[in-house]
Structures are given as C-alpha cells and as structure tokens.
Chains A and B, each alone.
Chain A
Amino acid sequence: MSTTPAQKPTLLSIRNIAKTFGRNVVLRDVSLEIAEGEFLTVLGESGSGKTTLLRIIAGFETATSGELWMGTEKLDREPPYRRRVNTVFQNYALFPHLTVEQNVAYGLRVARRPDAEIAQRVTEALEKVKMTAHAKKKPSKISGGQQQRVALARALVNRPRLLLLDEPLSALDANLRRQMQVELKSLQREVGIAFVFVTHDQEEAMVMSDRIALLRSGELEQVATPREIYSRPATAYVAQFIGHTNLLRGEVRGGVMRCGALSWRASTPDGPSLFSLRPEQLRLSSGARSNSEVRVRGKVLQQAFHGATSLLRVECADGLVLVVRTPSGGLSAEEIELEFSPSDAIPVSESPEWN
C-alpha cells in the first residue's frame, strides 16, 4: 500500500486499528494519520469497513485492538461526549422535537455556555450554511438538503477539532449532490477544520478530497491525493475502482512486456505482470509512422454516449477487449486502429481475492 503523507501536522493518529464483530472481521490493522485542516475521504464499497472506522473515531464502537491518538491524548476509552470530534450522520439524526435553532444550539447548551454566546454562535453557524430563514422551523418542515445543512451547522458550531461525515450526500438527488459537494468543500476551506468524509462514490471522493484513503475488506489499499491515486494506482483494485481502466495482463521478459498481441518496452523486472491503462490514454491512431507508440487494430463492439466523450468497447485480435474514451461524434468505422504511449501503462500489483 502506498501512502502520500499529509502536508500539515498530524491531528489524529490511527494506529493498527482492528475490529471484529463476533466472527466477522470488519477492520484489519488500519493505520492512518489525519492532518490538521485536511479533507480526507475514506472511500470504499459497502462492507469495506469505512463506516465502522468512522464510528470508532467518533466513539460509538471500541476497536478490538489498536490505538487512537489525538495529539498526546489517547482516545480509545473516551466516551463520545468527551471527544473533540463531531459527526454528521447519514440520515442527519436531527431532533424532531426541537427547532432548527435548538438543534444547532444543543451541544452548546449541554456544555452550559452562556446564553449570549450560544445565540451568537448559533446565528453565525446558521449563516454559514444559509439556513437563517428557517431557524424557528421543526425538522419535519424542511427539505432533505436543508436538513443536511442543519446537521452540518449543529456539528460545526461546537468547533470540533475533527468533523466526521458519514455519507451525508447519499440521500440527495444528483444535482443537489453536486451542488453540495462544492459547498462542503468551500465550507471546509473556510472553517479550516479537518474533515473525514466517508463515501462509496469515487467521483465524489475525487472532487472533494485533499487525500483519499481507499478501504477494501477492512484494509487500506492506498492513501494518496486524487491525482496520485488516479494516475499511479498501486493495485489492480485501486485502478479499477477509481475511474475506468484497462487491465493488461501478461509477462515481462527482457524488458519487454507482452500482453497478447501487444508489446512494449517496460522497465519493470521480469515475470508475470499487470498494467493499468486508462481509456483516455488510448487514441485513434493518427496513421503517421511512430516508433514509440504501441498500435493495435480492433473492431468496435459498443459505443456508450457520455456527453462530451464516448466510451468504446473494442475487440482486438486474440479476444482482448479494450475500453477507449474518445470525443463524441465522428466515429463511423467499425474497424479502427488504436495507439498509446508505453509510459502511460502503469504497473500495478495484483489484488488478491478479487476479479
């Protein structure tokens, strides 16, 4: 697993956390450092353990083994109400018997802050999430997107050192979701608090994060910036999970990788190898002679229109099917020639127990 270290000082140190429920191993030795003020996304499929990890940080579950450190404080045994961590829940969990205002004020009331301070901080928080006009309403009277903002305000008003967000956008429709992604990102920049965001949506993760931690079956596959994770995936799983890719399986011998009819110079050691090639790195051949580009002919099986670009499924000799991304329109031929640069093929390690 490759890790890009965070740029700023460490806020939360997750050390070798493991969690088992009965006979079910949900997290296996997860270690991660979360930096001050960073936007970190924990990305994974359902069952990957991402929500469990979040709940362990929040204090709703205790890890079976491992440690949690915030600065010099060991958090493991601290109950949730003593941690400087707040959570935005998946279904918002707003208190139905309290107004929006009262919901946001809750944490401050419990901490017995003076009334004047509470009023001022609540007003500020509501302004930040643009919910001032709805302050006196009950949660049942506002929309899902608005509830989500209130949940945010309620958490942030307490000035936690870390904010946890458990798939907060999954209940919203696509357009609202995109809008909220942008708002959340700028909100985070504004308040400067570290956000740990859990989602299964890789596009969302790419858009919002400073770093992505990809979790699979309770273990971290890769922790890196979106760019890094996209252009230099560590394993086949990462390559396939983030965006589309072509996995080219073959053997390197004497510095040359052979995969079916394809071959190119590779600097990796000899032996069975796996390379990841992104669909946009395959182009329609220009026809001009070139020594550096790898060429292959194929038959277009399917075209999927995606707006500005289209994805083509191309069958080459010996049955290899490549996925190619081209600008839409202008493709009428059935037989085409593709090319790519060998440097665009990234070596990745195999991902065990996965197809």
Chain B
Amino acid sequence: MFSRAYKAAVTVPPLAWVAAFLLFPYLLMFCYSFWSVSPAQTIVHSWNFDNYKELLQKTVYWQTLLRSMWIAARVMLFSLLLGYPLAYFLSFHAGKRKDLLYQMVIIPLWVSYLVRAYAWKTILGSDGVLNTLLQYVHLTNHPLDFLLYSPFAVVLTLTHIYTPFTILPIYASLEHIPRNLVEASHDLGASPAQTFWKVIFPLSIPGVVAGATFAFVLSLGDFLAPLLLGGPSGIMISNIVVSLFGAAYNWPLGAAISLGMLVIVVSLLFASERLEKKWSFS
C-alpha cells in the first residue's frame, strides 16, 4: 500500500542519523579500545590488545565489575520483591482506585533522578534526617556510619529509583491475563494461592523478566548514585570509566571497559528476550 518513495522517505533520514550518531560512534569506541595513550597525554593510534590485557590482569577491574554486578543483582531482587506484590495489588485488588494508584506509581519516574538521589543523601547522612531522628527518639546514641557512603546506600537509592521501572511491565503482563482464567481455576477447585502459582504467576513471567532486566542493566551502568552516595567502598564500573575520561586521562582503556559493558548489556538483553519469548503464551 505504501509506495517505494514513501518508504524510502521515512527510512533514509533516521537510518542516516542512527548510522552517523550511534553506529559510527560505537565503532569508533571499538577502535579506541585498541589504541593507547602516550605519556604526553595524546592518543596513539597503534593497534594492540594492551588495554584488554590490562583489564584481564589487574584485579581492581574485575573486583569493581563483580561488585557492580552484585549491587545490580540486589537492586533487581529488591525491586522485584517490592514491585511484584504492588503490581498484583494494582491489577487484581485496586478496584475503583486503580487509575489513581497507577498514576502514583508513574509520578516518581518523572521526578528528576538527581533530586531523588540527593533526597537519600540528605536522609542517610550522619547529620541526616534518619540519624537525627533515631537519636531524637533514643533508638541510637550515635550516628550510624554505614547508612551513607556504602554499597548499602547505593542499593537503597537505586532500588528506590528503579522499582517503578520494574512495576510497569509486571503490571502490564498481569493486566493481560484474562480474568476468566482465574474464575476457571477456582471453578476447577484451586484455592487462591494455588491459582496464583499455577495460573497467574506463570503468565506474568515475561513482565517479570522485562522488569528484572531493566533494574539489573540500568543499575549496573549507573554512575551517579555511587558517586553521590557510594563512598570509596561503593565505586562501580561506570565510575572507573568516567575517571578514565576525566582526571585519569586514558580514553582507550575507558573505551575498552565501555565496550565490555556494551557486550554484557547486549548479551543480557538477548538472553532476556529469549526468556520472555519462551514464557509468552499468546
């Protein structure tokens, strides 16, 4: 139905832009990862694997990557634990207030990330709201150090930020479940709990996988929360990249790490997509 001219007109401009500003830069990054930086702080275009060797050999990179993954995993877990029951509540128990409550889940997403991270910083600090509150009601008599500048703070903040991201796809998949399936299950003698585990949960798995993927991948690559709240023990892999492009001027090495992250993220996306397909029955 659409003429070739039409299809060409809508395809070529975005294709060109994407090629110029997404594909080409990624390729450039790929090239950079094989170059090195001279002592005079210039980029030397000599092709070698040095950067990758450095990444594989120096433990600091591995440690940071693993710590980042561990943080991301915890964020994913907590987001799911917090988010799934809320999504379920919204879909099956919210009744007339479903619309309003759904909006209330979306609103935090529109509020600046920086604002929310900053809010936690003020709450968790040793002079912060939480500590002074606890001392005020005599639950503690000195500030709790671990609250801020620790992986704990990072996990807490990232969970706060990404839980709504997790809720939405789960809610969407729960909403897609035809209600008469639940009725049929009851009709056949299954209790609400059995119905949940045998019917509802399996059908919501694609949403769970999608939500979990967002939470994990977005947390893995986060650099703001660790910088604001992580302290020395909360440094994540993105922070290393940022410093390599800043003070610790070594673009090629930074590019190598970025490329690694790119590969990890894309692999996770592929895996998650396949998992979603496997569990989708429509």
Find out whether A and B make contact in their complex, taking CB atoms under 8 A apart as touching.
yes
Q: Which residues of A contact B (CB under 8 A)?
A: 60-61, 79
Contact residues, B1-16 vs A (CB, 8 A)? 1, 3
Chain B residues contacting A61 (CB-CB under 8 Å) are 1
Q: What are 3 inter-chain pairs, A to B, with CB distance below 8 A? A: A60-B1, A61-B1, A79-B3
Minimum C-beta distance from A303 to chain B (A) = 37
Interface of chain A, main secondary structure: loop
Residue of B whose beta carbon sits closest to that of A79: B3
Chain A residues contacting B3 (CB-CB under 8 Å) are 79
Minimum C-beta distance from B3 to chain A (A) = 7
Minimum C-beta distance from B8 to chain A (A) = 15
In Å, the complex CA distance between A329 and B1 comes to 56
Q: Mark B1-38, 1 if CB is under 8 A from A, else 0.
A: 10100000000000000000000000000000000000
Chain A residues contacting B1 (CB-CB under 8 Å) are 60-61
Chain B residues contacting A60 (CB-CB under 8 Å) are 1
Q: Mark B91-113, 1 if CB is under 8 A from A, else 0.
A: 00000000000000000000000
**How many B residues have CB within 8 A of the partner chain?**
2
In Å, the complex CA distance between A79 and B4 comes to 12
In Å, the complex CA distance between A60 and B3 comes to 10
Q: Which 3 A-B pairs have the closest CB atoms?
A: A60-B1, A79-B3, A61-B1
Minimum C-beta distance from B125 to chain A (A) = 54
In Å, the complex CA distance between A252 and B1 comes to 52
Minimum C-beta distance from A334 to chain B (A) = 43
Minimum C-beta distance from A149 to chain B (A) = 26
Minimum C-beta distance from B149 to chain A (A) = 55
Minimum C-beta distance from A57 to chain B (A) = 14
In Å, the complex CA distance between A61 and B3 comes to 11
Minimum C-beta distance from A321 to chain B (A) = 40
In Å, the complex CA distance between A61 and B2 comes to 9
Minimum C-beta distance from A239 to chain B (A) = 37
In Å, the complex CA distance between A60 and B2 comes to 8
In Å, the complex CA distance between A61 and B1 comes to 6
Residue of B whose beta carbon sits closest to that of A60: B1
Minimum C-beta distance from B69 to chain A (A) = 45
Chain B residues contacting A79 (CB-CB under 8 Å) are 3
In Å, the complex CA distance between A147 and B101 comes to 37
Residue of A whose beta carbon sits closest to that of B1: A60
Minimum C-beta distance from A64 to chain B (A) = 16
Minimum C-beta distance from A1 to chain B (A) = 30
Minimum C-beta distance from A76 to chain B (A) = 14
Q: Mark B104-132, 1 if CB is under 8 A from A, else 0.
A: 00000000000000000000000000000
Minimum C-beta distance from B158 to chain A (A) = 43
Minimum C-beta distance from B5 to chain A (A) = 10
In Å, the complex CA distance between A83 and B51 comes to 65
Residue of A whose beta carbon sits closest to that of B3: A79
In Å, the complex CA distance between A38 and B1 comes to 28
Residue of B whose beta carbon sits closest to that of A59: B1
Minimum C-beta distance from B132 to chain A (A) = 57
In Å, the complex CA distance between A60 and B1 comes to 5
Minimum C-beta distance from B9 to chain A (A) = 15
In Å, the complex CA distance between A22 and B268 comes to 34
Minimum C-beta distance from A352 to chain B (A) = 34
In Å, the complex CA distance between A71 and B1 comes to 24
In Å, the complex CA distance between A333 and B3 comes to 68
Minimum C-beta distance from A55 to chain B (A) = 8
In Å, the complex CA distance between A11 and B220 comes to 68
Residue of B whose beta carbon sits closest to that of A61: B1
Residue of B whose beta carbon sits closest to that of A58: B1
In Å, the complex CA distance between A292 and B51 comes to 104
In Å, the complex CA distance between A79 and B5 comes to 12
Residue of B whose beta carbon sits closest to that of A55: B1
Residue of B whose beta carbon sits closest to that of A80: B1
Minimum C-beta distance from B134 to chain A (A) = 58
In Å, the complex CA distance between A97 and B1 comes to 23
Minimum C-beta distance from B182 to chain A (A) = 31
Contact residues, B217-267 vs A (CB, 8 A)? none
Q: Mark B171-214, 1 if CB is under 8 A from A, else 0.
A: 00000000000000000000000000000000000000000000
In Å, the complex CA distance between A256 and B38 comes to 106
In Å, the complex CA distance between A79 and B1 comes to 9
Minimum C-beta distance from A51 to chain B (A) = 13
Minimum C-beta distance from B248 to chain A (A) = 56
Minimum C-beta distance from B2 to chain A (A) = 10
In Å, the complex CA distance between A79 and B3 comes to 8
In Å, the complex CA distance between A79 and B6 comes to 12
In Å, the complex CA distance between A214 and B1 comes to 26
In Å, the complex CA distance between A289 and B3 comes to 72
